[in-house]
Structure 1
Amino acid sequence: MRSFTAVVAILLATLLAPFAIGATWVSERVDDREAYVDTVGDLSDDPVVQQVLADAAADAAVKALERHIPVGLPSAVRGWARTAALKVVRSPDFPTFWRKANGDLHQQVLAVLDDPDAPTDGDITVDASPLVAQVLLQLEDRGIPVGLLPTIPLDVPVTTKAKVAEGGPAYRAADRFNRIVPLAWAALVLLGVLVAHGWRGRVRTAGFALLGVAVAAVVLLLAVDPATTAALDQVEADRRELTGVMLDAVVGSLTPYARAFLVAAPVGLVLVALSLWPRRTRAEQAPASAIPGADGHFTP
């Protein structure tokens, strides 16, 4: 009965393992703002990100000039603005801007997901007004009187708040679920180890539990691409360029996270092999003097 209980506990733990790993990934890499910013931080060097933000900043700068200085603008101002914008997004200061913008973006998203009463009108945006200011400063070097302009706001839309709010109920339910699953997995493994027979049974049970973790990691690795595709399908087509790159980075971060759990496989195999190591026979364990005839004399 104890062996049966141990087997059932480890089987249930193995079924929970993918959800446990996924839950810890969400908590550590998605919900945590600093971890999220670290995940998407390297996208500051991504050509798509740079091009989208450069185009938006250049267009905003030109429209502001045309609105506030309708007469006397050189015909080449649009080309100058695009050149200046590309220079800005390729500058050493752009990664700092990108990290701060994504910290604000993360706050916007969680505000909608966490609060069922949060307003759903408008967009989740990246505040790119600092980029516009830098573009205008470079145009000033070409003789454009940008001092006549007020501060130019620019919010680059990533997705709508309504679209984010659609995932709110599932996110809030998953948040509660995610807190329980890792603990449930650990409790099942502990139960299996405690009820197993002897030290060999306990070592073997722990080994199979670790092998279950490795299997769960493989399942998650296979699920990354379909999950990314499914997430992209939910994004509006006209916003898929920037959002797609960011989603790919966030969901793709599950790959190295899950891969780290593959180390459980060799450890589990070692434990299982150790538990199956042949037992010494009584004759091997007994001292030579205790074995009849071992001293050359045999008494019938």
Structure 2
Amino acid sequence: MTSRVRGALSAALIALACLLVPFGALAAWAEYGLADTGRYVTAMAPLAADPAVRDGVADAVADEVGEPARPLVRSLTRTPAFGTAWEAGNRAVHRAVLRAVREGGHHAVTVDIAPIAARVEHRVTLPRTEVAVLPAPALDRLRKGYDVLEVAGFWLPVTAAALAVTGIAVAACRRRALTATALGTALGGALLGLAVAVGRRLTLTDLTDPVRRPAAGAVYDALTGTLRTVSWLLVALGLAVALSCWLTGPYGPLRARRASAAPVPDPAQRPTRARL
């Protein structure tokens, strides 16, 4: 295999690997973070103290169980026990959605909030305790996406890593290939962070009720916190590796400094051949 062919093959493999980086990170986050009940509840726990989230919960529950319950539910969200109820509610909703996605069916997902309300105040009586959390059409779309994520969440990152390693291995100049991979990884991390920011804007813009946008923004930020951290780590790691390759490369300042510091032999001390 000639150097030109090796270079072209290496460039194609590295480009494809870097293209898969943001998609692999997104799929892994959805499969192992968002779809995991424990991690989901942990990410949502701090929102129990957010005033916008509390008001949003009160409004959403009141819309489902009846308008007369609005003052009662709003007062419950101000009690110290709301944090416990918030955690229990998120756990119940997440498990109900996962169960519906995995078991099939074409019905809306509902959650009975009576046990959750009992954790806040044992004497609470609500007109209706069944709350719809996911309509049937949305469940069908979610099920299709979940089936894809179960495969992509593992294989996309593995494929990206395998393509990158293969591209570096077949390259005629491995240092240059490593630098290109590092810069592509940093670019993928930057695109991932941009996608998270654009997704937040689109999500809040699609809300018909502007009053609920602060609560929706807080929830979005809590759920995508890990994803934003991963994007920054990819950018930092990629730039650090690329900088290291440049500093230690043949044209880097460290190599040039070592070359300039090397002792220059004195011409007067060069051995001369004995004349016959």
| TM-score over 0.5 (shorter chain) | yes
The alignment status of 1:44 with 2:16, answered yes or no, reads no
The alignment status of 1:103 with 2:77, answered yes or no, reads no
- Write the distance in 1 (CA, Å) between the matches of 2:24 and 2:268: 58
- Write the distance in 2 (CA, Å) between the matches of 1:41 and 1:160: 25
Note the residue ranges of structure 2 that are not aligned, 5 or more in a row.
Answer: none
- Write the distance in 2 (CA, Å) between the matches of 1:156 and 1:264: 45
Residue in 2 that maps onto 1:212: 184
Residue in 1 that maps onto 2:194: 222
Q: Once the two structures are superposed, what CA deviation does each residue of 1:32-82 show, in whole Å capped at 9, x if it has no partner?
A: 21111122222212223322444546996996xxxxxxxxxxxxxx8xx83
Q: 1:12 to 1:133 in 2, by over 3 A?
A: closer
**TM-score, length basis structure 1:** 0.69
Q: Any conservation in 2 of the 1:211–1:264 contact (CA below 8 Å)?
A: no
- Write the distance in 1 (CA, Å) between the matches of 2:250 and 2:58: 65
- Write the distance in 2 (CA, Å) between the matches of 1:223 and 1:268: 24
Q: Percent identity?
A: 23
Alpha-carbon distance, 1:191 to partner: 0.8
**Which of 18, 21, 31 is 2:22 aligned to?**
18
Q: Which deviates further from its counterpart, 206-215 or 47-56?
A: 47-56
Residue in 2 that maps onto 1:75: none
Partner amino acid for 1:254? L
Residue in 2 that maps onto 1:244: 216
- Write the distance in 2 (CA, Å) between the matches of 1:224 and 1:114: 27
Alpha-carbon distance, 1:157 to partner: 3.1
Note the residue ranges of structure 1 that are not aligned, 5 or more in a row.
Answer: 64-77, 140-148
Alpha-carbon distance, 1:172 to partner: 0.9
Q: 1:293 to 1:252 in 2, by over 3 A?
A: closer
- Write the distance in 1 (CA, Å) between the matches of 2:42 and 2:112: 16
**Which of 232, 243, 248 is 1:270 aligned to?**
243
Partner amino acid for 1:113? V
The alignment status of 1:295 with 2:269, answered yes or no, reads yes
Alpha-carbon distance, 1:298 to partner: 3.6
Taking the TM superposition and a 5 Å limit, the aligned residue runs for 1:49-88 are 49-54=53-58, 56=61, 82=71, 85-88=73-76
Partner amino acid for 1:174? L
Q: 1:231 to 1:188 in 2, by over 3 A?
A: same
Alpha-carbon distance, 1:223 to partner: 1.3
Residue in 2 that maps onto 1:145: none
Q: 1:157 to 1:43 in 2, by over 3 A?
A: farther
Partner amino acid for 1:258? S
- Write the distance in 2 (CA, Å) between the matches of 1:212 and 1:244: 33
Q: Please state whether the residue corresponding to 1:158 is helix, strand or coil.
A: strand
Taking the TM superposition and a 5 Å limit, the aligned residue runs for 1:113-192 are 113-115=101-103, 118-125=104-111, 127=113, 129-131=115-117, 134-135=120-121, 137=123, 154-192=129-167
Q: Larger Rg: 1 or 2? A: 1
Partner amino acid for 1:244? A
